[in-house]
A = this chain, B = another copy of it.
Amino acid sequence: MNFLEERIMKDGIVKEGNVLKVDSFINHQMDIELFREMGQEWKRRFEGKNINKILTIEASGIGIACVAAQSFGVPVVFAKKSKSINLDGEMFVAEVVSFTHKNVNKVIVSKKFLNKDDHVLIIDDFLANGCALQGLIQIVQSAGATVEGIGIAIEKGFQPGGHMIRNLGFQLESLAIVEGMDHETGEIRFREQ
């Protein structure tokens, strides 16, 4: 097991309905030293890639992306989930259908911060059905920029997002891939990487 899998075993909580709660160290309270390690691991896995920008999505991707960005020495852009009054001018917009919430969200990035010369690493905390991630990829492609890779903290390997993204040819590096969980025993099985 790697450092993140060990941490999930120690502090993650399995709930009914294949819910994995990691809110004590990832997406409500945040362990910054863990995020730093995640950044170093992505830096290793994306070695040789020419990355000049990290793209993430609000809210829980932002902390991971900002700390990880220090391993790459690049700025971070976060996509917003709905039209904000502070976003003027032109923007890239992707419509994202949420499986979980059964609604449609807009994912928005100002055109000022993505262009055809950008080589983008996309970072987010979770990958399940891949809805948000598809929106981010679509935005990078609308800008004519290049997706150099995708770094995910925790992938739910039993949901279709990861499979689909890999089939599209992207280098997707999930630091922990959960294959199955049992909320009665608390067991969590990870995919061998």
Contacts and interface: CB of A to CB of B under 8 A. Distances in A.
Interface range, A side: 35 or more
A151 to B, nearest CB: 15
Contacts of A78: 28, 30, 59, 63
Copies in the complex: 2
Nearest to A28: B110
A23 to B, nearest CB: 7
A78 to B, nearest CB: 7
A137 interface: no
Interface in A21-39: 21, 23-25, 27-32, 35-36
A52 to B, nearest CB: 12
A69 interface: yes
A59 B80 CA distance: 9
Given A23-B110, A66-B66, A86-B23, A29 B59 contact: no
A112 interface: yes
A70 interface: yes
B32 A113 contact: no
Contacts of A74: 32
A160 interface: no
Given A23-B112, A28-B87, 5 more contacts: A28-B110, A29-B76, A32-B69, A59-B80, A63-B76
Q: Which 10 A-B pairs have the closest CB atoms?
A: A58-B59, A63-B66, A62-B62, A29-B113, A59-B59, A32-B69, A30-B76, A29-B77, A62-B63, A66-B66
Interface of A: 15, 21, 23-25, 27-32, 35-36, 58-59, 62-63, 65-67, 69-70, 74-78, 80, 85-88, 101, 109-110, 112-113
